[in-house]
Every structure is written in structure tokens, then in C-alpha cells.
Amino acid sequence: MKYVICADSSSNLFSDYIKDDEVGFNVIPLTIRVLDKEFVDNDYLNVDEMLDAVNSTKEKCSSSCPSPNDYLKHFNEAEYAICVTISSKLSGSYNSACVARDMSDKKDKILVVDSLLTAGAMRLIVDKAYKLIKEGLSFEEISKKLIEFRNSINLLFVLDKFDNLVKNGRMSKVVAFIANLAAIKPLCYGEGGEIKIKEKIRTFKGVLKRLVYNIGQMCPVTKGRTCVISHTKNMENALILKTMIEQQYEFDSIIIEDNRGLCAFYALEGGLLVSF
């Protein structure tokens, strides 16, 4: 096999996402710990069971990234490897993948991409990597174009609860304080790999409208692009958001996906993330 694509499990992807005899695909799971129980974020994770466990305790729950060896064994499956991870500002997954690359005797043939984001943004990078591989480009050309594409991706999101982001230090204290104000429904975004607040709005309906408006501000040309809506147990509002986006923009496709383990753990119930 010439190429293998890897993504950590914050991509929300399953291990059979790409089925191609010429291009391998693997999802490297992170782990969520709730008290003395570990939930491995793989294809078999019961997300509802994990969320029930999280909601049943007031103790701090945590997540842990894959080890370098978890990555290395998959990097060695093909001549070239491309790996996409959650933002290095939110997890040690990227650093772990880089250590694995440097452990390999073919490290010059391994590209580790810090998505700077998570969820649907990682799916978009994986899709782009696969497309570039199938176009027959060289590894060097793929690497250059993939980083350029990564730099063009945006993420906007709305959460009902910020508990796990705050408890695990994934948000600055100022951002966390604003996010937890009862009268504020913040519209958040990713920038430079970090979580920031774009606008402070008072109603859920209002924040959805501003989310849709800001898509156009951040990405003036949507034709030829894909939009991914990731949600945690909130299909109703995901469908409403999809309709609102369709009415205003010309995305080639708008995909709705469920948040898997890690994204569900941090976004919690009601969370909506929009990558484009």
C-alpha cells in the first residue's frame, strides 16, 4: 500500500470511512475517563452511556491522547502516511503523532497535520488528503496543498454547556467566565488553534442567525466547498441550521454528523459545531 491516512477520533469518523485497496485509513482513539471508568473513543463506543456517566458525577472527568506507539503502528502500514489531529492547543494528540513520526525510519514520508480545529474540520482535511492522493500528486505537492487547505478552514460553534471545556482548561479563564454567564449565549470560533468568542448573544435563535451570518463573513465564496454540521444529541437544531445555511449559501454539500466520544464529551448535549 502506498498511502495510509490516519485521524484521531476527535474527527468523529469511523474506521471504515475510506474503503480503498490503494489508500488505507485508520482512526486513532482518544480516551475519556469518568471516575474509575475509561471510555475508548473507537467504533464501538456507546456515546449515550458515556454521557450518562459524565452527567452522573460532579467530579472532574478528563480525556487522554493516544500514545506515540498507537500512531506508529499505523504509520508503518504504507510507504507514505498522512495524519490529521485535533488542535495541538486542545490536546497532546498532535505532539504524540509527531513523536511517532520521528521514531519512524521513514519520517520524511510522514505528514502530521495539526488541524488547528476539531470535528468536521478534520473530516474536511481527510477528504482533501484522499482527493489529492487519488489525483496522483507527489507527496511533496500533497503536503503543500493540504496545509494550504487547512489554513482556509473555519469553525463556528454554539454550546449549551461548557463544563468539561472549563474544568479541563481548554478555554481561557476570561472566555470561560463569559461563556458561563446565564444571560449570554456566546457564538464561539476557532482561531490559531484556540477557542475564542466572536459574539455575545442573548437567545439561541439569535445565535443561530449570527452563526449563519458569520459563515459569509469568514468564507465569502462557498461554492465548491463542503459544510459539516456536527451535533451532540441535537438533530432538530442541526436540521434547522442546515436549512438556514442552504437558503443563504452555495455549498456543494452540507453534511450532518453525530459527535462521537471526544467531541461529545466536550460539546455535551445540545452542542452544534459548523466547519466550512
CA 42 to chain CA mean position, Å: 15
Q: What pLDDT sits at residue 184?
A: 75
**pTM of the entire predicted model:** 0.94
pLDDT (tens digit, 9 = 90+) per residue, 134-143?
A: 999 999 999 9
* Position 176 confidence tier, pLDDT thresholds 50, 70, 90: low
Judge if 143 and 167 occupy the same domain. no
Q: Which of 150, 171, 203 finishes a domain? A: 150
CB-CB neighbours of 42 under 10 Å: 16
Judge if 103 and 170 occupy the same domain. no
Q: 183 is in which domain, residue-wise?
A: 155-275
Is the CA virtual torsion 210, 216, 219, 223 positive or negative?
positive
Total domains in the chain come to 2
Q: Which of 95, 121, 150 finishes a domain? A: 150
Residue 19 counted as domain residue: yes
Q: How far apart, in Å, are the Cα atoms of 214 and each of 177, 266, 267?
A: 23, 23, 20
* Position 204 confidence tier, pLDDT thresholds 50, 70, 90: confident
